[in-house]
A and B are shown apart, each in its own frame.
Chain A
Amino acid sequence: MNTDPYEILGVPKTATQDEIKKAYRKLAKELHPDLHPDDKAKQERFKEVSAANDLLGDPEKRRRFDAGEIDASGQERPERQYYHHYAGQDAGRRYDPGPGFEGGMDQDDLNDIFSQFFRARAAGAGGGGFRHEVHARGSDMRYHLEVDFLDAARGAKRRVTMPDGNNIEITIPPGVRDGQTLRLRGKGAPGIGGGAAGDALVTVSVGTHPVFARLDDDIEMELPITFDEAVLGAKVDVPTVLGSVSVTIPKGASSGRRLRLRGKGIKGPKGKPGDQIVRLKIVLPKKIDPEMEELAERWRRMAVFDPRAELRRMT
């Protein structure tokens, strides 16, 4: 591997700072890893070129290198994570110019790829636009909003500061899903020559919750119950996304038993509300008291119940 930064940049040792900068720019345009995400050789070369530029582009470091005070690798720096590392993952979808496969593109309509391409071109990127009409509707602006789990389930209003400094209130409809896009009419870029303002397209990321999990409009949770509640049955308070409700634990309930609380899930904008599914879990106290122990001893001596009989028969 070549380690001479002058050779890597292809400049003579007598090059001016300006010549070094020019040489680096030329190579960077050719080699930048985000422009060639699959080309490992180019990525390696870019690393060398960047390192060479870090050294020679800084007159002080260059002087010390020329004087032999530091070697070509300069000092250790934390490895940079390039854009392609993130953009290749699902999160990168936020910057997609149009709907892709997962955005509801017609599976069997490959032409869509081409129509998307031309739509994207006509609209320009980042709200730039190539429109020639004098009266034009303002372009749509894309934003991204993080919403916590309960706000998404119940719906909420959020006051946010837009990049232009304006404060607007966003109404989050109850039951909004992760990745869903809300359209705020007229909150995009202003129109040109009296044209209407564009819309703000707000993509929502919904956070997770330590207790509740979501499955479409159903909510799942685990409910710890005591030994006596399991044996005798009980009425206990159970949290739901819309507040606490009273639930009857049936007599003789086992761990893992699921109770369905109809209509206590997410009440979306349409259709019937989801359910809350409660998974029972019998929890014993950390320290077993003597009376409970005595009871268990007596119960064991009776030996009336074998929960593993089924297992043995089947294996």
Chain B
Amino acid sequence: MRHTEEMVLTKIRRLSRRELRLWVRQGWVRPAVGEAGPVFDELDIARLRLLCDLRKEMALPTTAMPVVLNLIDQLYQTRRDLRTLLRALDDQPEDVRSTLAARLRLSDTNDAAEDSD
């Protein structure tokens, strides 16, 4: 589903046109560039709602946003990479997987021991 700026504003009523344009200019949300202006998809809309939550509901200052967004984007990239890794592990023979599972459980315990210090 493709949304123009107008459609986005009707959909997310707590978002003003000024904010939307500012956030696009700052690169916080990156819609597709089209001949008649930006084109937003579902990913962009969900991201705009998250931006509204961060800025409005949680009242995060503008200056903190780049840091927060970078951390969030890193989180999702890492999660996708981790899933790729897990899928690759899935294809490994049973003994490799069980060795890894045992190893991961071991490091869990170590972490716990360190935490309690």
Q: Which A positions have Cβ atoms within 8 angstroms of B?
A: 24-25, 28-29, 32, 34-35, 37, 53, 80-88, 90-98, 100-102, 117, 120-121, 124-128, 141-146, 158-164, 202, 205
Docked pose: A97 CA to B67 CA in angstroms: 11
A-B complex: 4 closest residue pairs judged by Cβ atoms: A125-B70, A128-B66, A83-B50, A160-B33
Contacts of B38 in A (CB 8 A): 161, 163
Proximity bits, B34-51, A CB within 8 Å = 1, else 0: 111111011100110110
B65-104 with Cβ < 8 A to chain A: 65-67, 69-70, 72-77, 79-81, 84-85
Taking a contact as CB atoms under 8 Å apart, the answer to whether A144 and B31 are in contact is yes
Taking a contact as CB atoms under 8 Å apart, the answer to whether B50 and A97 are in contact is no
CB distance from B79 to the nearest CB of A (A): 6
Docked pose: A83 CA to B52 CA in angstroms: 12
Taking a contact as CB atoms under 8 Å apart, the answer to whether A160 and B43 are in contact is no
Docked pose: A161 CA to B31 CA in angstroms: 11
Contacts of B81 in A (CB 8 A): 100-101
CB distance from B33 to the nearest CB of A (A): 4
Docked pose: A198 CA to B75 CA in angstroms: 26
Docked pose: A32 CA to B84 CA in angstroms: 25
Docked pose: A31 CA to B31 CA in angstroms: 28
Taking a contact as CB atoms under 8 Å apart, the answer to whether B70 and A82 are in contact is no
B26: nearest chain-A partner, CB-CB: A126
Taking a contact as CB atoms under 8 Å apart, the answer to whether A88 and B79 are in contact is yes
Say if the beta carbon of B17 comes within 8 Å of chain A: no
Q: Which B positions have Cβ atoms within 8 angstroms of A?
A: 21, 24-28, 30-39, 41-43, 46-47, 49-50, 53, 57-59, 65-67, 69-70, 72-77, 79-81, 84-85
Contacts of B43 in A (CB 8 A): 86-87, 91-92, 94-95
Besides the contacts A24-B57, A161-B34, what 16 more A-B pairs have beta carbons closer than 8 Å?
A37-B79, A82-B49, A83-B46, A87-B76, A92-B43, A92-B76, A94-B43, A95-B30, A101-B84, A101-B85, A117-B74, A124-B70, A126-B66, A141-B27, A143-B32, A144-B31
Taking a contact as CB atoms under 8 Å apart, the answer to whether A125 and B58 are in contact is no
A117: nearest chain-B partner, CB-CB: B74
Docked pose: A102 CA to B27 CA in angstroms: 23
Taking a contact as CB atoms under 8 Å apart, the answer to whether B58 and A32 are in contact is yes
CB distance from A151 to the nearest CB of B (A): 12
Docked pose: A28 CA to B77 CA in angstroms: 23
Docked pose: A128 CA to B23 CA in angstroms: 12
Contacts of B66 in A (CB 8 A): 124-128
CB distance from A22 to the nearest CB of B (A): 10
Docked pose: A82 CA to B53 CA in angstroms: 11
A97 touching B80 in the complex, CB below 8 Å, given contacts A127-B27, A143-B33, A163-B25: no
Contacts of B58 in A (CB 8 A): 25, 28-29, 32
CB distance from A167 to the nearest CB of B (A): 9
Contacts of B39 in A (CB 8 A): 146
Contacts of B73 in A (CB 8 A): 95-97, 125
Docked pose: A102 CA to B74 CA in angstroms: 15
Contacts of B33 in A (CB 8 A): 143-145, 160-163, 202
* 11 residue pairs A–B, Cβ–Cβ below 8 Å: A32-B58, A81-B46, A86-B43, A88-B79, A97-B74, A126-B28, A126-B69, A128-B67, A144-B31, A158-B35, A161-B36
CB distance from A103 to the nearest CB of B (A): 9
Taking a contact as CB atoms under 8 Å apart, the answer to whether B65 and A126 are in contact is yes
Taking a contact as CB atoms under 8 Å apart, the answer to whether A25 and B59 are in contact is yes
Docked pose: A110 CA to B77 CA in angstroms: 15
Docked pose: A143 CA to B53 CA in angstroms: 23
Contacts of A29 in B (CB 8 A): 58
Docked pose: A34 CA to B87 CA in angstroms: 23
